[in-house]
Amino acid sequence: IKGGQNKNLDFHELMFGKSLDNDHANFYKELYSCLLCQDIYFNEMELFFASRKGSNRNMSGSIPTTYKECIPPLQTTDLVLLHFDEFKLNVLKDKYKEKPYITLINSFKRKVFLKACNAFTKDILNADTDKNYFNFYESFVGINEQLNEIKKELENPNTVVLRVGNSTNYFAKTISYLIKNNDPGLYKECFWQHFAPVKKGKTKPNERTMPKTRMIYSNGEKDYLPGFIKIQYD
């Protein structure tokens, strides 16, 4: 992340720095195409009431949004979710063998990929359970327990936990907070281009206090920080 210092850096530069060739954006598209993710279909869906919590200065405010159709908690399905196209990877190895990309291509394996996913999830959990938010979550039924359970799941070498889905505020809240804590200069420089939840002019989010709100889902009995899924391998 610290490699990018240009106000006009694109998202690839923001994620990976600027140490590679200028054609790195095309390379990452080719690399990602080697990872195939199967669609997941579930038999049941459930409506949750979604609210944006923490809107006041003391984080006590609540802004109701709408009902969200979601996969019910604890629903499971059996499938091969991730597949690596070894043929395409070998083509890339030959194409980029004289460039620094080759190290990344050789590391693009299931074991490394899943380990990296869990390492990243641990980072975002640390951001979500920062002391400024941990007390905030105590006012909701079961959220702290859910986050602690996810942390335990991450210790299982056969389990991967990911954060997915629309309307979770995942990037504009958790990811931006993670970067704000680790590289405040990059966060400030790229706030309106990457981290602000809306375009400049429509509203005035404060880069100093943002992000402080979180989207909380409720089914009337329990509250949820949405978007977490667990993948377990035999």
pTM reported for the whole predicted model = 0.72
Say how far residue 219 (Cα) sits from the centre of its chain.
Answer: 23
- Residue 24 and residue 39 in contact, taking contact as beta carbons nearer than 8 Å: no
pLDDT band at 19 (very low <50, low <70, confident <90, very high): very low
181: region left, alpha or beta (phi > 0 left; psi from -120 to 50 alpha): alpha
Question: Whose CA is closest to 76, among 195, 194, 226, 230?
Answer: 230
Question: Whose CA is closest to 160, among 83, 67, 231?
Answer: 231
80-128 tens-digit pLDDT: 778 889 999 999 999 988 777 888 888 888 888 888 889 888 888 887 7
Contacts (Cβ under 8 Å, ≥6 apart) of 187: 176, 179, 180, 195, 207
Q: Which residues pair with 231 in a beta bridge?
A: 160
Determine the Cα–Cα distance for residues 80 and 65; give it in Å rounded to an integer: 35
Above 50 in pLDDT, residue 5?
no
Above 50 in pLDDT, residue 14?
no
CA distances from 228 to 128, 132, 163 (A): 13, 21, 4
* Cis upstream peptide for 211 (omega within 30°): yes
pLDDT (0 to 100) of residue 199: 62
Between 212 and 92, name the one with better pLDDT: 92
Q: b/e for 132-166, b at 16 or more Cβ within 10 A?
A: ebeebbeebeebbebbeebeebbeeeebbbbbeee
- CB neighbours of residue 70 within 10 Å: 21
53-73 tens-digit pLDDT: 877 777 777 877 888 888 888
Between 234 and 87, name the one with better pLDDT: 87
Among 16-30, 106-120, 183-197, 212-226, name the one with the lowest average pLDDT: 16-30
